[in-house]
């Protein structure tokens, strides 16, 4: 990949190379993104080299905040129980999520998609674990925009068994549990900061519509953490359980 002097292409090349050669310490000062348009340009450039895009991660800080998203790239989605190479995952930030899969396309068009249209294109949901990972030596030292440019720290997404009764989901009433090496780490009812996770899916569909790519049948949308971010450290088995939905396991 040639950067041609473009800041977003320079960053994309550094991030792509880091996936092969090892983490980098920081971005050059003159290339750091300063807004979400620049972040998305970096995402697009990385995805153009490492795609196809299998879906999207999306989240929002609260019920009214503008969502943000990043592509789920080829080779990053696994079925539970999954085993990941510990040499390739150093950060191991664990988040419990619920993901959704589209059964039909939502192609680009001028008119925004309604909530009914978007949700009508979904046929199944999954309990999920997102494994957060960084292409940098120390993610804690990064500015926010650099973290977002690094695919919003997506490393892997582990999917449990499909759940067809997702239209009945009430986020505020849903219990979630996270276990490290069979010990309960976290248990909470509700907990997704976005509150209405279906709003996030509608936003992604219209974000992709405006970008000109649309949504393709089979793509996955994972809708943000219910548990916050917990680093696995030395734990070798991580389990998320959403009672009445299902569980999902990843091992290192």
Q: Assess whether the previous peptide bond of 188 is cis (omega < 30° from 0).
A: no
Angle between helix axes 36-50 and 7-21 (nearest 10 degrees) is 50
The CATH T-level fold of domain 53-251 is: Fumarylacetoacetate hydrolase; domain 2 (3.90.850)
Q: In the chain, what are the domain boundaries?
A: 53-251
Interacting residues of 28 by C-beta distance below 8 A, sequence separation 6+ = 10
One pLDDT digit (tens) per residue for the chain, 252 residues: 666 679 999 999 999 999 999 999 999 999 999 999 999 999 999 999 999 999 999 999 999 999 999 999 999 999 999 999 999 999 999 999 999 999 999 999 999 999 999 999 999 999 999 999 999 999 899 999 999 999 999 999 999 999 999 999 999 999 999 999 999 999 999 989 999 999 999 999 999 999 999 999 999 999 999 999 999 999 999 999 999 999 999 999
**Token duo for residue 159:** 């999917």
Phi, psi dihedrals of residue 87, rounded to the nearest 5°? -70, -20
State yes or no: cis peptide before 81, omega within 30 of 0: yes
Query: Can you give the pTM of this predicted structure?
Result: 0.96
């Amino acid at each position: 990949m040639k950067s041609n002097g473009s800041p977003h292409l320079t960053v994309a090349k550094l991030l792509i190379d880091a996936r092969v050669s090892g983490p980098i310490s920081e971005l050059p000062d003159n290339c750091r993104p300063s807004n979400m348009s620049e972040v998305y340009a970096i995402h697009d450039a990385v995805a153009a080299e490492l795609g196809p895009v299998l879906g999207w991660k999306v989240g929002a800080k609260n019920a009214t905040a503008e969502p943000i998203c990043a592509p789920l790239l080829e080779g990053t989605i696994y079925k539970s129980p999954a085993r990941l190479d510990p040499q390739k995952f150093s950060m191991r930030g664990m988040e419990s999520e619920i993901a959704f899969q589209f059964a039909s396309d939502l192609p680009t068009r001028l008119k925004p998609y309604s909530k009914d249209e978007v949700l009508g294109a979904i046929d199944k949901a999954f309990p999920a674990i997102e494994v957060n990972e960084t292409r940098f030596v120390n993610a804690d030292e990064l500015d926010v925009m650099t973290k977002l440019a690094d695919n919003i720290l997506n490393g892997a997404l582990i999917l449990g068994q499909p759940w067809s009764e997702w239209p009945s989901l009430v986020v505020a009433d849903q219990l979630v549990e996270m276990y490290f090496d069979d010990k309960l780490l976290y248990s909470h009812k509700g907990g997704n900061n976005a509150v209405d996770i279906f709003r996030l899916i509608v936003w992604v569909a219209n974000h992709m519509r405006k970008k000109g790519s649309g949504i393709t049948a089979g793509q996955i949308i994972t809708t943000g953490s219910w548990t916050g971010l917990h680093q696995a450290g030395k734990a070798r088995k991580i389990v998320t359980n959403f009672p009445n939905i299902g569980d999902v396991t990843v091992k290192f």
